[in-house]
Amino acid sequence: MSLPTTVTGIAQAVRRGQVSARAVTQAALDRIAARDAEIRAVTRLLTERALQMADALDACIVAGEDPGPLAGVPIGIKALFDIKGLPTTAGAAMRVDAPAAEDDAAVLQRLTGAGAIPVAVLNMDEYAYGFVTVNAHFGTTRNPRDTARLAGGSSGGSAAAVAAGMLPLTWGSDTNGSIRVPAALCGVWGFRPAHGSVPEEGSFPFVPMLDTLGPFAATLDDLETGLAVAMGRPVAPLSALSVARLDGWFVTHAIDAYEEIFSAIGRVLGTMPMAHLPRVEAARAAAFFITGHDGGRLHRAELAQRPLAFDPETRDRLLAGNLVPTDLRDRAADFGAWFRARALDLLDRYDVLLAPATPDVAPLIDNPVIHTGDGPAPARANLGMLAQPISLAGLPVLCAPVSRPGKLPLGLQLIGAPGREGALFDLAARLESGGVLGV
């Protein structure tokens, strides 16, 4: 029997004893060895631990035990998740000799408890501050769809590992778009859970008010399986009966190719109204102030003691964040509560809101510029301009790859109300069946 490649296929075959977890794990390690020198998605292999876990899982199956819905599934995790016995670098060279974590991160414990086998730690922007995964120490992660282009960030290693076929399921974090941006640019499925719906203990923080942890996958079903394990509950089935497209900011700052995409969506769903989310530009600014202030304060002591140990790009942004007054940050947080209420008002009228995930396709590594409604703009700061306002509202977002054969990937944000993730998966499945979405 040839080895299955999807989460569902692997778990079923391993649980039935048709393939061994060790064989699946070794195959993943072999794929990484063959491909990652070009992509640079992986910063550390967990070979010994992974093979030991695989052997233990195979023994459980022989003993008649059910190891869970992720049995034998090889996964990768962003470098800000704690792994017992290893330093948690959060993508920072200055942390490679940090004290070893005493336990796995809470969400990683859920995944391994369901049978998943972590095989790799994945690249990221230092301290998750960026949208490009250009890391002065661990290297630049290249986009598997076109290796001359950026993978996006800050969870770029997580998206690229899936897009390159190295792993079927990976994990990242999303503060201002760090799951949605690389998922869109690499053409894979990604999910930003509602704030607080996935445990964050044991992950290195960036901006606790906005941070979430979520999965990347090559298929929609695999994404849902991974998300359900992390949330500790199944995704409740819900129909997306009413769908609207966000207007204004989300139209102005997206390239023209999205108009073709929304026309294709209209052919599947019928007439789709436009919905207005007020003061989106202010929401982006508020998220920017909160991010700068909280991120800067988190690293303030290290910036004072050893500033040259930081990636220069990260250091400059953190230093600037320390200049944001606390009263301005608090006003931004108050505005965020108001903005979240307006978003929930819209979600009382519509089951799902649609918006582009990024303004443009993946930019070139040698010319990291994107096109926006205001003209060319630096990619590192602006790739998240359509994702960042939604972060401020703390909503669950499914980032879906748009079907564009022969063209660079784009992604779509499917935005819903907390606890109603099922409506997002329902709509994504309908649009995938209609040929609009899919890898």
Residues acting as catalytic residues: 78, 154, 178
Nearest CA-CA partner of 147 in 365, 429, 300, 348: 365
Query: Which residue from 359, 26, 5, 4 is spatially nearest to 217, judged by alpha carbons?
Result: 5
Distance in angstroms (rounded) separating the CA atoms of residues 226 and 217 = 8
Sign of CA dihedral 311, 316, 319, 321: negative
85: left (phi over 0), alpha (psi -120 to 50) or beta: left
Torsions phi, psi for 394 (to 5 deg)? 70, 30
Q: Are 240 and 430 in contact (CB under 8 A)?
A: yes
What single string gives the DSSP state of each residue in 211-239?
Answer: -EEEEEESSHHHHHHHHHHHHTS------
Sign for the pseudo-dihedral over CA of 239, 242, 243, 247: negative
Q: Which among 377, 379, 385, 436 is positioned nearest to 412, based on CA atoms?
A: 436
- C-beta of residue 167 within 8 angstroms of C-beta of residue 119: yes
3-class secondary-structure state, position 352: strand
In the chain, the amino acid numbered 432 is E
